[in-house]
Copies of this chain bind each other. A is one copy, B any other.
C-alpha cells in the first residue's frame, strides 16, 4: 500500500529549489531539487509553473497543499510574505503565512524575519524555517551559526528568535576571488581549512585585528615570497575569523554554538570555532528546513494530519 502524502514542502531560495512530499509523520515520500531558484523564476514570474511541474514529477495529487519558505516570499517574487519582527516566535511562523491566490491548490508562503534596530537592520528568509526545525527537535535556545553567502549568527531563547547578525562572508570571499587584486594569488592557492594558514588567520582575527587591514597582506606575502600556496586558506580564515571574533562576546555565555551546515563549510567553521575554544554541534540544514516546514504544515492543516 502506498502512503498518501500529507503535504508538499518547498525550500525556495535565491538560486535553488527543493521540494519534498511528506507523510503525516513528516517522513519523506519523494523529493526533487533544481537550480530554479527565485533568480531563475523572477523574469517570467514562472513560480507557479515551476512548482506545478515538480509536483507533477512527484505524482502529487491535484489537491495536495504546499508550504513554502525562502525568497519566493520576497517583495516582487511569487507573493510577498511580510517579515516578522524580532523577537519572533518560531513555532508561529504559520500564523503569518500568506496564501498564493494564483495557485491552483492551497499554497502558503512562510514569512521571513527582520530586525529593525537602527544600524543593526537585518533580514532573513529561509533560515528562520531551519531554526523552527531546530526548535521542533528541542534545540530552542542558544547561539546558532548558519554559514553561507550571507552567514547568519542567530540567538534563540526558548523558541524565540531574539537577535541576529548577517556577515557577508561568502559574498566577500567570492568578490575577492573573482574581482580583486588578490584573485590571481587565490586562484593559485591549494590550501583549505585544514591548512595551518587557515587556523593562523583565524587566530589573528581573534586578536582583535581589523579585516580590511589584513587582506592586502595576502598579496604582499605573495609578492615577497614569489609564491602564494596559502592565499585561499588565509583569505577564508580571515573572513571566518572575523565572524567568530565579532560574536565571541555572545559565545562566552554558551557552552557551545550550533552549526547548521554540511561538508567543507561545516569543517571550516568547526575548525575556526575550535581555534576560539568553542565547541559546536552540527545539524544539517536540509533536514531542519524540512522539519520546520512540516511543523508549519501541521499547524496549517491539522485536519489533514488527523485523517
Q: Which residues of A contact B (CB under 8 A)?
A: 75, 83, 114-116, 119-123, 150, 153, 165-169, 171-172, 175-176, 178-181, 200, 204, 209-217, 219-221, 223-224, 239, 242-243, 245-246
CA distance A122 to B246 in the complex (A): 25
* B165 near A123: Cβ-Cβ < 8 Å: no
Contacts A75-B223, A211-B210, A242-B210 given; indicate if A171 touches B181 (C-beta within 8 A): yes
* B213 near A167: Cβ-Cβ < 8 Å: yes
What B residues does A114 contact at CB under 8 A? 220, 223-224
This chain: copies in complex: 2
Nearest B residue to A226 via CB reads B75
What B residues does A245 contact at CB under 8 A? 210
What B residues does A221 contact at CB under 8 A? 121
Nearest B residue to A116 via CB reads B224
* A123 near B213: Cβ-Cβ < 8 Å: no
CA distance A123 to B225 in the complex (A): 12
Given A153-B213, A175-B176, A178-B179, 13 more A-B residue pairs with CB atoms under 8 Å apart are A75-B223, A114-B224, A115-B220, A119-B204, A119-B217, A122-B220, A123-B219, A150-B216, A166-B213, A166-B217, A175-B179, A210-B246, A212-B243
* B175 near A213: Cβ-Cβ < 8 Å: no
What B residues does A121 contact at CB under 8 A? 217, 220-221, 224
CA distance A220 to B167 in the complex (A): 12
CA distance A159 to B168 in the complex (A): 40
